[in-house]
Amino acid sequence: MNITLKEVATKNELKAFVHFPNELYKDNPCYVPQIESMDRDTLNPKKNHAFEVCEGKYWLAYDENGRIVGRVAGIINHRYNEKVGEKICRFGFIDFVDNHEVSKALMRAVEQYAKDKGMTMVSGPTGFLEFDAAGILVEGFDKLPTAYGKYNAPYYEQHILDLGYRKEVDFVEYRILVPDVIPERYACFAEVVAEKNELHQAVLHKRSDLNPYLDGVFTCMNAAYSKLHGFSELTPGQCEDLKKQFLGNVNVDFVSIVLDKNEKVVAFGVGLPSLSLAMQKANGSLLPFGFIHILRALKKNDTLDLLLIAIDDEYQNKGVNAMIFDKFAQGIKKNGVKYIESTRELEDNTTVQNLWGRFEHYLHKRARVYSKNI
């Protein structure tokens, strides 16, 4: 196959870049199409505040007939590099047909971009921020991804390994079965933890009740996530982006904000009814009817996706995760949730995994980030 590589430079090319995986996997029952307009905004420096600390380039690969056969992004997060004292170029948004010439051409473009920018390592797949989908799926090809995960065919890993990349870190996903009756001891333990540490839940009846706590939530997040792989402190603009992304969909039944006696946010958790099936029906677009499927999934759903959980260092290992889970449990009972899906988390993140440690659960998806010195 003769491959032609082209850097994305126009709106139409960006549309093609975003659309490619939805076309590549259109007949795959385990693929969840991303909303293309949202992905275009993510990749647009004028609409994504991540570009305050990041830069990037995108490439499309074409075969001899002018058909798109692959895509990839090269991303440099300068704030993260300064934090860890490394010169890392990320690769992300990678998809390709099962042809080694295609994957080789894509990754060579990223590596050359990295060298031109003075980088010494290429790592990925990751996005601009920790909240973008990370990793190549290596287990769970017959499972439906969460809306914040990403599907890829089994052949991806071998292509990346053949190009000299090696495992850097794994992200795992669990499926948790909610028992018909959640034991009362969980609520009792949460009450003991709250009393012992002088903590309490923020009272949330509607979305607007979240507003007084949002700045504290992001302060807590920046502190709690500071040591996580790939995370750099969020700027005010990036916080605003996340507010817009999540607040329109959030159900306060699945939001826990833990406060100390001075009303400071010391921990929080956010879950969201699963949007995977709804996004399959939407098929990459909110219009004309895609948004209807999303709204229905938010109102009635038997599956909850866990999105974000953070606990201030001062309250680590003090049982505060029990308070977060107790709030979720109330929402689970109220809304008839039968299953919980953890979104991708680091394989050694025991703080989050302890939330459901006593429930029936199993690891059913694994995604891998790779790296290579250049």
Buried b (16+ CB within 10 A) or exposed e, 288-310: eebeebbeebbeebebbbbbbbb
- In tens, the pLDDT along 127-142 reads 998 778 889 999 999 9
Per-residue confidence (pLDDT) for residue 236, from 0 to 100: 86
Per-residue confidence (pLDDT) for residue 349, from 0 to 100: 73
CA-CA distance, 243 to 194, in Å (whole number)?
A: 27
Per-residue confidence (pLDDT) for residue 230, from 0 to 100: 77
Considering only CA atoms, give the Rg of the chain.
21
3-state helix, strand, coil in the chain (%, to 5): 40, 25, 35
Establish how many alpha carbons lie within 13 A of residue 133's alpha carbon, considering only the half-sphere containing its beta carbon: 20
Helices 184-197, 320-335: axis angle to 10 degrees equals: 140
- Low pLDDT (below 70) residues in the chain: 350-357
Instruction: Give me 238's structure tokens.
Output: 């990036």
List C-alpha distances in Å: 280 to 129, 203, 230: 25, 34, 29
pTM over 0.95: no
Helix/strand number for the chain, H first, E second? 12, 14
Residue found by looking up tokens 């201030």 in the block: 312
Per-residue confidence (pLDDT) for residue 324, from 0 to 100: 92
Residues 6+ apart with CB under 8 A from 62: 3, 4, 5, 6, 68, 69
